[in-house]
Amino acid sequence: MNLTTIILAAGKGTRMRSKLPKVLHKIAHKPLLQHVHDTAVQLENNEIHIVIGHGSDLVKQTLENLQVNWVEQTEQLGTGHAVQQVSNQISNDTIALILYGDVPLLKIETLQNLISKITEKTLALLTVNLADPMGYGRIVRDDSGNVLRIIEEKDATEVEKQITEGNTGILAVQGKSLKKWLSQLRNNNTQGEYYLTDIIALAVSDGFEIITSSPQNEDEVLGVNDKLQLAHLERVYQLQQAEILMRQGVTLSDPNRFDLRGTLEVGQDVEIDVNVIFEGKNQVGNNVKIGSNCSIKNATIGDDVIILPNCVIENAQVGANSRIGPFARLRPETVLATDTHIGNFVEIKKSVIGQGSKVNHLSYIGDSLVGKKVNIGAGTITCNYDGVNKFQTIIEDGAFIGSDTQLVAPVTIGKNATIGAGSTITKDTPDDKLTLSRSKQLSVSGWQRPVKKEKL
C-alpha cells in the first residue's frame, strides 16, 4: 500500500519567543521538523508533503536536502485548512498519514502500528490518556466506547473537559475519504478555524469505525510549544540515546549528563565520564576511556585510547593506544598515529603526528608533519603563518625539540636532530646534530637594580 504523509509545520510558535520558525528549533542539534521527517522517511513507499507557512523560505532553505514536496499555506486557518492545501496531491488509493512538525519524538513502531489498522472503512487515530489533558482536543465516545467525535478544549463543555483521553492529532485514513471530508469542513467554532479534528464526526456519519491506539510512552506525542517543553524533550531524547549506548555495553558515569548530537559507533568496554558531548559522526574503538567535560565532534578514536578531562576534539583521528589531555585541543585535520601523547594546553591543527611521538605541554603544532618517536618540548610553537600565508613544518623521525622553541615555517628538522631549548629555528636543521640559536649567557658586572625614587 502506498503512503502519503502530510506533516503540518505552518504554525508560528509564538510561545517560543523567537524569530526562528518553531520547527527549526533543535533537539540534539537537529531541527524538530527533521526529526519528524527522519522518522516518516523510514516508512516504505512513502511520499512526504510538508505544509509550511511562517518563515517558509527559511524552513525550505534550512532543510533543502529533504526529498519532500513543500506546500505553502499562506494563511493559517487551522489544521484542516492546512491539510486541504495538499488535498489535490493525495491519490484515492493511498493511505494518508498526518504528522506534526513540532512533535519530534514519535516512534516508527507507533506509526507502523497505527497504519496497520487501516481498512476500507476504518480511520486510525492516535490518542493518549493524560493526567492533565489541558489544551488537547478530547475524544468523545458513546456508552459502548465507540469514538463519536473530537471536541477542542476551547469548544468543550465542562463535562467534556473532564475527559482525559486526548487527541494527539496523529491519524491515518484512506486518501479518498480524507479528501471528501476535507471538502466538508466548516469553521463555525470558537476559533473560527477549519479543524482537522472535525473529520472524525464526518467519518462516523459515513459509517467508519474509529480505531484508536496509543504510543508506548506519552513523551512520543508531546509537542514543543515553548522552551521548557523543548528542554524537556531534549532530555528525553538524550536519555533514550544513552540507554541505547548502555545496552551496547558502554559505561556512562551518569546517563543524565551525556549528550549525543549526531551518531556514535562504539566498540567494547568504552567508559564515558560525565558531561561529555559528542557531535556529528563519531567512531570510538574498544577499551576507550573518555574523561569528564570533553567535547568531541566528527572524531575517529582508536582502541585503548585514554582521553583525559576537558579536551576539545574536532574532525580528528586519534590512533590506538594514545593518551590525550587533560585540556588538549585537536583541531580539524589532525591525525595522530598510534601511541601518541598529547598533553595539557596543546593545540594541534592540520597536522600528522607519527607513532610514539609526544607533545606533552603548552604547544601549538599547526600545518606540520611530525615523524615517529619525536619529542616536542614544553612551549614549542610552529610559526606557520606570516600574516598572509600558511607554511609547513616537517619534523623527521626521532627528533628532539627543546622547550620553548619556535619553528618558523617552512622548515624541516632532520632525523634524530636535537634542537636546544629556547631556539628560534628559521632554517632547515641537519640529521643527528644539535642545533640551537640563542645568544650566549652572560652576567653583567656593575649592573644595579633600579630603585624607587623617594617622593619629596
Contacting ligand UD1 (CB under 6 A), which of 197, 241, 406, 429?
A: 197
CB atoms within 10 A of CB 250: 22
Binding mask 27-56 for ligand UD1 (x = CB under 6 A): ------------------------x-----
Considering only the stretches 163-171, 180-188, 332-340, 392-400, report the one whose residues sit in contact with ligand UD1 under the rule CB under 6 A: 163-171
Residue 8 near which of Ca ion, ligand UD1, none (CB within 5-8 Å, type-dependent): ligand UD1
Task: CB nearer to Ca ion: give 223 or 356.
Answer: 223
Minimum CB separation from Ca ion for residue 26, in Å?
18
Active-site residue, 49 included:
no
Q: Assign 292 to helix, strand or coil.
A: coil
C-alpha cell at 19: 524569530
**Cα distance between residue 437 and residue 404, in whole Å:** 12
Query: Least Å distance between CB 252 and ligand UD1?
Result: 32
Q: Is 220 in the site for ligand UD1 (CB under 6 A)?
A: no
With 0-12 / 13-18 / 19 or more C-beta atoms within 10 angstroms meaning exposed / middle / buried, residue 408 is middle
Contacts of 253 (CB under 8 A, 6+ apart): 271, 272, 273, 274, 292
In the complex, the smallest distance separating the C-beta of residue 175 from ligand UD1, rounded to whole angstroms, is 19
DSSP 3-state of 19: coil
Nearer to ligand UD1, 14 or 146 (CB): 14
Count of positions on this chain that bind Ca ion (CB under 5 A): 1
Among 350, 345, 356, 292, which residue's Cα sits nearest to residue 320?
356
Only one of the segments 47-55, 219-227, 243-251, 305-313 lies at the binding site for Ca ion (rule: CB under 5 A); that segment is: 219-227
Least Å distance between CB 391 and ligand UD1? 53
* Interface segment toward ligand UD1; rule CB under 6 A; list 195-203, 258-266, 272-280, 287-295: 195-203
Residues 61 to 100: which contact ligand UD1 by CB under 6 A? 73, 76-79, 81-82, 100
Reading the block at residue 453, the C-alpha cell is 625614587
Among 4, 6, 11, 371, binds ligand UD1 (CB under 6 A): 11
Piece in contact with ligand UD1 (CB under 6 A), picked from 2-10, 210-218, 307-315, 367-375:
2-10
Q: Does 127 bind ligand UD1 (CB under 6 A)?
A: no
The H or E element spanning position 204 is: helix 199-205
| Number of amino acids touching ligand UD1 (CB under 6 A) | 27
Q: Does 262 bind ligand UD1 (CB under 6 A)?
A: no
Supply the DSSP symbol for 286: T
Output 38 or 265, the one with its CB closest to ligand UD1. Answer: 38
How far is C-alpha 54 from the geometric centre of its chain's CA atoms? 24
Cα 196 from Cα 189, distance rounded (Å): 12
241 backbone dihedrals φ, ψ, rounded to 5°: -65, -40
Who's near 1: CB < 8 A, 6+ residues apart? 45, 94, 95, 118
Least distance in angstroms from the C-beta of 237 to ligand UD1:
18
335-361 burial, b if ≥16 CB within 10 A, otherwise e?
bbbbbbbbbbbbbbbbbbbbbbbbbbe
Q: Are strands 434-435 and 393-395 parallel, antiparallel or unpaired?
A: unpaired
- By the 8 A CB rule, do 252 and 284 touch? no
Binding region for Ca ion (CB under 5 A):
223
Binding region for ligand UD1 (CB under 6 A):
8-11, 51, 73, 76-79, 81-82, 100-102, 136-137, 150, 152, 166-169, 195-197, 223
Active site residue ranges = 361
